[in-house]
C-alpha cells in the first residue's frame, strides 16, 4: 500500500500554491478594477472640468468685451500739455493743490509742461478738483497732513473752515510753513507762500499797499488765520536771511471761480447758493458796502509771474475795481434766473472782506494786473478768461 502521508503533504502543498495563485489573481483583479474606476473618474472629472470651463468662458467672454469697451471709453484724456525739455521742466510741489486756488495753479503748471506733485489732506480740498490729472506721468497726488512731522499742506482760507478748527489752522500756517521751508532748504528749492490780504486785518488805510503793517486783532475770531499768516511770512523771511532760502510771498485778495466750496461763507458763493435754492439773497445793511473780486485765472497768472520773478518782498494780487454788494446780488440773481428776493438785514456783521489792494507793485515789477473785467467776472462775456472786454 502506498503511504497516505506523503500524498497528503503533496496535496496540501498544491493547495497552498493554488490559494496563493488565486489570491494573487484576486489582488490583480482588484487593482485592475480600482484602476479602471480611477480612470473613469478622471475621465468624468476632465469632461466635467471642460464643461465648467466652457460654461465660465461663455459667461466671461461678453464681460471681457464689455471691460474692453469700458477701458476704451474711460481712457484718460488729459488737457493739452506742453512738452518741455528736461532742462526746462521743473519739479513743483503744491501744498493744498486739491483746493480752490491750488487746483487751478496745478492746471496751469501741468499744461505748461512741468512735473507737479500735489500734497493735500482734503480737509477743504477735493480730489475731484485734480482727478483729471490722475495717471498722468507728470502728476502725483499725495495725501499728507501738516500736523505730522515733514508733512505739509495748505491752510484753509474760507472763514467757516478755519474758524471751525482754529488750532488746526494755526498749526497749518506755522508748522506746515516751517516744514515746507525745511524742505526747500534741503533741496535748494524756491518757496512761494500763498499769503493773504487778511494780514492787513481791519485796515485803516485804503487801498492797502505792501508797506502797510495792518490793523489786526490778535485775539479776535479770525486771529487764527490772520496772525497765522503773519507768522508764516515772518518765518519765510527768517529762513531767507539766515539760511538763504529763496522765498516769494503773495498776498491774495478776494478771488472766486470754478471749484469753490459752495458753503465757504463768501459773498459770491452765498448769493449763488441762495439763488439756486430759491432762498432770499441776504444783504447786510443797505448793500452799499463794496467788494473787489478777481477771477481765479488772473490770480494763477499772478502767482506764476511772481514765482518766476526776482521779487522776494510781499506782493499784492487782487482786483482794485470795486462793486457794491447789492450789484453783485442783482447780477447773480439775473444770471441764475432766480425768482429769489433780495432781503436786507439790519443786523451788524463782521465785514472782514472790505480790503482793497494797491497793485502798483505787481504792475511795475511783474507786469501783472487782472485782465478779466469785473463786469465779466460772473458772466465772463461768454469767453475764456484772459482778455479784457471792449
Q: Is 225 a catalytic residue?
A: yes
The contacts of residue 17 (CB under 8 Å, 6+ apart) are: none
Of the listed 225, 237, 239, 295, which one is catalytic? Answer: 225
**Reported pTM:** 0.70
**What would the CATH number be for the domain defined by 162-260+294-320+352-372?**
3.40.50.720
* Helix-helix angle 296-307:100-111, to 10 degrees: 60
Q: How far is residue 376 from each of residues 164, 202, 327, 380, measured CA to CA in Å?
A: 33, 28, 13, 4
Higher-pLDDT residue of 260 and 280 is 280
Mean pLDDT calculated for residue range 49-56:
65
Coil vs helix vs strand at 77? coil
Which residue in the block uniquely carries the three cell numbers 494780487?
317
Instruction: Give pLDDT tens digits for 203-239.
Output: 888 899 999 999 888 888 878 878 889 999 999 999 9
Instruction: Tell me the pLDDT of the chain averaged across its residues.
Output: 80
State pLDDT tens for residues 109-144: 999 999 999 999 888 889 999 999 998 999 999 988
Amino acid at each position: 500500500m502506498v503511504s497516505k502521508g506523503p500524498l497528503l503533504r503533496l496535496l496540501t502543498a498544491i493547495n497552498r500554491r493554488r490559494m496563493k495563485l488565486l489570491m494573487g489573481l484576486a489582488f490583480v483583479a482588484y487593482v485592475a478594477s480600482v484602476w479602471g474606476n480611477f480612470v473613469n473618474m478622471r475621465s468624468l472629472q476632465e469632461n466635467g472640468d471642460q464643461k465648467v470651463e466652457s460654461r465660465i468662458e461663455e459667461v466671461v467672454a461678453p464681460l471681457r468685451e464689455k471691460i474692453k469697451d469700458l477701458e476704451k471709453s474711460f481712457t484718460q484724456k488729459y488737457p493739452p500739455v506742453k512738452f518741455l525739455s528736461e532742462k526746462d521742466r521743473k519739479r513743483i510741489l503744491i501744498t493744498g493743490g486739491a483746493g480752490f486756488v491750488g487746483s487751478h495753479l496745478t492746471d496751469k503748471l501741468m499744461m505748461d509742461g512741468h512735473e507737479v506733485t500735489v500734497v493735500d489732506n482734503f480737509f477743504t480740498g477735493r480730489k475731484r478738483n485734480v482727478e483729471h490729472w490722475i495717471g498722468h506721468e507728470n502728476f502725483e497726488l499725495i495725501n499728507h497732513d501738516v500736523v505730522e512731522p515733514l508733512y505739509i499742506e495748505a491752510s484753509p482760507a474760507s472763514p467757516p473752515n478755519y474758524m471751525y478748527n482754529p488750532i488746526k489752522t494755526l498749526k497749518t500756517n506755522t508748522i506746515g510753513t516751517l516744514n515746507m521751508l525745511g524742505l526747500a532748504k534741503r533741496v535748494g528749492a524756491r518757496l512761494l507762500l500763498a499769503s493773504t490780504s487778511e494780514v492787513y486785518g481791519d485796515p485803516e488805510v485804503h487801498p492797502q499797499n505792501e508797506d502797510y503793517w495792518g490793523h489786526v486783532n490778535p485775539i479776535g475770531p479770525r486771529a487764527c488765520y490772520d496772525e497765522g499768516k503773519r507768522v508764516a511770512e515772518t518765518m519765510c523771511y527768517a529762513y531767507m536771511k539766515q539760511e538763504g532760502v529763496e522765498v516769494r510771498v503773495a498776498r491774495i485778495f478776494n478771488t472766486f471761480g470754478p471749484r469753490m466750496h459752495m458753503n465757504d461763507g463768501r459773498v459770491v458763493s452765498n448769493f449763488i447758493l441762495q439763488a439756486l435754492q430759491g432762498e432770499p439773497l441776504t444783504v447786510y445793511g443797505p448793500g452799499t458796502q463794496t467788494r473787489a473780486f478777481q477771477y481765479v485765472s488772473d490770480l494763477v497768472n499772478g502767482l506764476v509771474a511772481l514765482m518766476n520773478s526776482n521779487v522776494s518782498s510781499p506782493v499784492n494780487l487782487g482786483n482794485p475795481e470795486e462793486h457794491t454788494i447789492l450789484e453783485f446780488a442783482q447780477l447773480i440773481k439775473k444770471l441764475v434766473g432766480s425768482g429769489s428776493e433780495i432781503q436786507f438785514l439790519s443786523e451788524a456783521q463782521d465785514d472782514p472782506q472790505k480790503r482793497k489792494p494797491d497793485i502798483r507793485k505787481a504792475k511795475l515789477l511783474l507786469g501783472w494786473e487782472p485782465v478779466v473785467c469785473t463786469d465779466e467776472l460772473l458772466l465772463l462775456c461768454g469767453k475764456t478768461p484772459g482778455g479784457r472786454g471792449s
